[in-house]
Amino acid sequence: MLTIPAICSQFAASTGEQLPYAAILDLAAEGHPVAGAVVEAAGQSLGLLVAAVANLTMVELVILSGEGMDLADVAGTALQDAIAYHRDPEASPLRLSRRPSDFAQWARGAAAVVIQRIILGTLHEGATPH
């Protein structure tokens, strides 16, 4: 439901028109009824996911980054409403931060995973990280 191909497929199934993800977001922002419904549903699902993860980890800040996260801008109200509805009422308010992604962030994350695995001993002896 939240992948770029899933959003494009939902739009195409409803309209018979294949459009790129960015065009669907643009249409939703302009008030197109089908694009708006697809994007709003995806925003609600993202809000549910964010609230569930935040409830499990008890974090107060969630950073949204990566491919496809323009959804958070276009479906911001649906996202925030879903978080408010699903967030544990005993938990601290949740803050969202949107950050653009780039290769440097990806590389730092990949390096951190390798370092954690080596330090925590989760890499098998003789195995090399990929």
Domain span at residue 51 reads: 4-99
Report how many domains make up the chain.
2
Confidence of residue 124 (pLDDT cuts 50, 70, 90): low
Q: Are residues 93 and 111 in the same domain?
A: no
Q: Are residues 78 and 116 in the same domain?
A: no
Q: Record the pTM.
A: 0.77
The reported pLDDT for the residue numbered 121 is 67
Give the pairing type, strands 95-99 and 61-65.
parallel
Q: Are residues 129 and 94 in the same domain?
A: no
Q: What is the C-alpha separation between 17 and 9, in angstroms, rounded?
A: 9
Rg of the Cα trace of the chain?
18
Pairwise pLDDT comparison (42 vs 106), residue with the higher score? 42
Q: Are residues 10 and 40 in the same domain?
A: yes
Average pLDDT over residues 2-22: 96
Q: Are residues 64 and 90 in the same domain?
A: yes
- Mind giving me the DSSP string for 2-56? -SHHHHHHHHHHHHS----HHHHHHHHHTT-HHHHHHHHHHHHHHHHHHHHHHHH
Residues 39-57 have pLDDT tens digits of 999 999 999 999 999 999 9
Q: Are residues 17 and 81 in the same domain?
A: yes
